[in-house]
Structure 1
C-alpha cells in the first residue's frame, strides 16, 4: 500500500469515509472541460472534507485555455482540468499554468504522468488501442507498427490528424522510435486506410460493426462505455468486435491523460493545490476515472466493471512530458504524409 504524507492525511481520511468536521476555508475556481455525472459527488466530497466551495466554469478545453489567456493576470481561475497530453501541454505553452510544489502529487502520481516542470499532472489514463472485426480479421495487428503493414491495406479506420489523441499517439511513436520511424508509420497507416478519416472514436467502432472497417483505432473508454450503456450503432452488436492492447512485447500500449494544473494567476493557490491533491486520493480517483470508464493514475485503485472486462495490459511508461515536446514534429509528419 502506498504511504501517504501527513499533509494529505486529513483529505484522504475524509474521502475514505472517516468522520471529521468540515471547516470553512474559502473557495476554489475550477475551469473544467469535464462533464460527467460522477463529478457532482467528486466535488461535494471535497467540499465536505475541507469546507472549500468549488465554483465551476465548464467548456471546451481550447476555449477555456483561450479564455485564461485573454483574462491574463485578472483571471479568477485557480485550476484547469482538461483531457489529453496535447491540451495540457498547450495550456503550459500558453502560460496559463504554474509549477506546483506538492509532495503528495509527487508521491501519488507516477513520474511519467507528470509534466517535467510540475505544471500539470495526469489523474486518469485512457489507452489508445486496436479494435477489429472478429469475423474477417483473423490475424489482427499486435503492434502499432503493424497498422502500417501492407497486409492490412484497405482495412484501417482512424480519426483525422487534427484529433489530439492521434497527435499524441504519433508523438509517442516519434519519442520512442525516432522521426524516421514516425514518418514511415504515418505513411503506412494512410496507405492502409479503408476510408478518409471521419468522425470520432465511436464512429470508428461503428465502422467495424458495419463492415466498412476491418480494423479501428480508438481510446478504450469509448468501447467500455458501449459495454456499460447503450451506444447507438455499437452496443447491440458489440460482440463482433475484438481488441488488442498493442506492443505488449515492446514498449506497451500508448496512454493519454485527463489531468490538470494550478492556474498561473490563481487567486486561491493554496486551495487549488489542495484540490489537486484530493484528486490523487483513492476515492477521488475512483470518481475521476470511473466517470468516463478510464484507468486511474494511481496504482491499485479499483476501476469500473466495464474497464475490468478489457483486461490487464502493459502500458507504455514513456514520459508524457517528453512525448508532448514531440507534438510539433507529429503535426509536421501528418502534413508531410497527407493524413487528412
Structure 2
C-alpha cells in the first residue's frame, strides 16, 4: 500500500506539510479518519497507479486551506457532514467540477449545483428507542419528539453539533423558522438530561435507563453492533426511520470536494470519479455501515438488514443554506443550557 498518512491530529497540521510537486499523486485533507479510507484508496491506487496522501484532522482543515491559499498542496477535501462542506463553499475554498461520470453517478440533490461537492455516502438521522419501554408505532416522526408524552424521556448530544444543526436546518426548510423554534423548545422541554456526549452515548443512555428515546446517525448503531463491548447496549434499542411515510428521513453525507488550489487536478478528478463508481461505493458504504450515494448501488450487510430507507429528497444544499438560522435557534432556546 502506498497511501501515506501525513497527520493524525489537528495539532500536526502545520508540522507535516504535503508535497505539491510530485506527479501521479493526490493529496487529501480529510475529516474522516484515514483507516476508514484505506480500503478505498488501496483500490484506487491498484486501479490507476496514482498514489494518495492523507492528512486527517477532526477540525481546522478549512482554516488550513485558507491560510495556505494558492500554495496549498491539497487536491481534495473529504468531509463527514453537510455543515462542514458548506463551510468550505462559503469560504470559497473549493472549485466547481462537473463531469458526465460524477453527475451520472450522484443524484442532483446529493451534489452542489455547481459541482463544489459530491456526496459519497449517506446516513439517516434516526430516532433510537428502547425496546422495552417504547412500543412499536409510538413515535414515527421528528415532529413527535416535541410531544408532551416524551417529557423527561429524550437524550441528545449538543444542539450545536453539526449533525443536529443539519437536522434543525432541514426542519426550517420544511416548516419555517417560527414553527421550528416552537418544535425545538418542545424537544428541549422533553430532555431527560443536559445535552452531552456523542451519538453512541445516547444509545448507552437508553440501555442504562436514563432515557427512552434519542436521536443519532444510523452508522453509529451499526458500528456498535460490530463492537463486542458495545453490542449489548445497541441490542437494547430499535431504529426508527422518521417521516418514512411522509417527506422522508433526513440524511446527512460524507462528501468530497476539489480544492481551488489543486496542484494535481486531473488525478484528483480521477479519484472523485472512482469514489462515486459502483465498486468504490460498495466498499465505502459497507466499511462504515452507511448507504451508498450512488442510487445504482444497493446497501449490503447490516444496513440492508435494517430495511429500505426513504430519504428526504430535499436538496442538501438548500438545507445547508439554513445553517446560520439553525445555529441562532439553538442559542435562542438555550438548548444546551
Structure 1 and Structure 2 fold alike (TM over 0.5): yes
Tell me whether 1:153 sits opposite 2:151 in the alignment. Answer: yes
Tell me whether 1:258 sits opposite 2:254 in the alignment. Answer: yes
Could you tell me how far apart the structure 2 residues matched to 1:296 and 1:78 are? 23
Could you tell me how far apart the structure 1 residues matched to 2:321 and 2:170 are? 10
Q: Could you tell me the TM-score, scaled by structure 1's length?
A: 0.89
- The match for 2:133 is 136
| 1:233-290 CA-partner distances (Å, limit 9, x unpaired) | xx12433211210001211110000001001111111111111000011111112222
Larger CA deviation: 119-128 vs 309-318:
309-318
Could you tell me how far apart the structure 2 residues matched to 1:67 and 1:118 are? 22
Shift of 1:194: 0.7
Are the equivalent residues in 2 in contact too, given 1:228–1:306 (CA < 8 A)? no
Tell me whether 1:272 sits opposite 2:268 in the alignment. Answer: yes
Could you tell me how far apart the structure 2 residues matched to 1:125 and 1:140 are? 26
The structure 2 residue matched to 1:96, chosen from 93, 98, 120, is: 93
Gaps in structure 1 of 5+ consecutive residues: 1-23
Are the equivalent residues in 1 in contact too, given 2:98–2:114 (CA < 8 A)? no
Could you tell me how far apart the structure 1 residues matched to 2:189 and 2:29 are? 40
Shift of 1:25: 6.4
Could you tell me how far apart the structure 2 residues matched to 1:63 and 1:303 are? 32
- The match for 1:197 is 195
Tell me whether 1:243 sits opposite 2:236 in the alignment. Answer: no
Shift of 1:49: 1.7
Shift of 1:292: 1.2
Alignment of 1:98-247 (within 5 A): 98-138=95-135, 140-232=138-230, 235-247=231-243
Give runs of ≥4 in structure 1 deviating > 6 Å.
none
Alignment of 1:28-47 (within 5 A): 28-35=26-33, 37=35, 39-47=37-45
SS of 1:246's partner is coil
Gaps in structure 2 of 5+ consecutive residues: 1-21
Shift of 1:295: 0.5
Could you tell me how far apart the structure 1 residues matched to 2:239 and 2:47 are? 40
Alignment of 1:267-306 (within 5 A): 267-306=263-302
What's the RMSD between the two structures over aligned residues? 1.5
| 1:207-228 CA-partner distances (Å, limit 9, x unpaired) | 1000001101100001111222
Shift of 1:39: 2.4
- The match for 2:316 is 320
Are the equivalent residues in 1 in contact too, given 2:62–2:88 (CA < 8 A)? yes
Larger CA deviation: 29-38 vs 141-150:
29-38
Shift of 1:34: 1.9
Shift of 1:33: 1.9
SS of 2:281's partner is helix
Count of aligned residue pairs for this structure pair: 314
Larger CA deviation: 76-85 vs 129-138:
129-138
Could you tell me how far apart the structure 2 residues matched to 1:80 and 1:167 are? 21
- The match for 1:57 is 55
Could you tell me how far apart the structure 2 residues matched to 1:231 and 1:178 are? 42
- The match for 1:80 is 77
Shift of 1:36: 5.6
Are the equivalent residues in 1 in contact too, given 2:28–2:74 (CA < 8 A)? yes
Shift of 1:230: 2.1
SS of 1:311's partner is coil
Are the equivalent residues in 2 in contact too, given 1:32–1:57 (CA < 8 A)? yes
The structure 2 residue matched to 1:336, chosen from 327, 332, 337, is: 332
Tell me whether 1:70 sits opposite 2:67 in the alignment. Answer: yes
Could you tell me how far apart the structure 1 residues matched to 2:211 and 2:266 are? 50
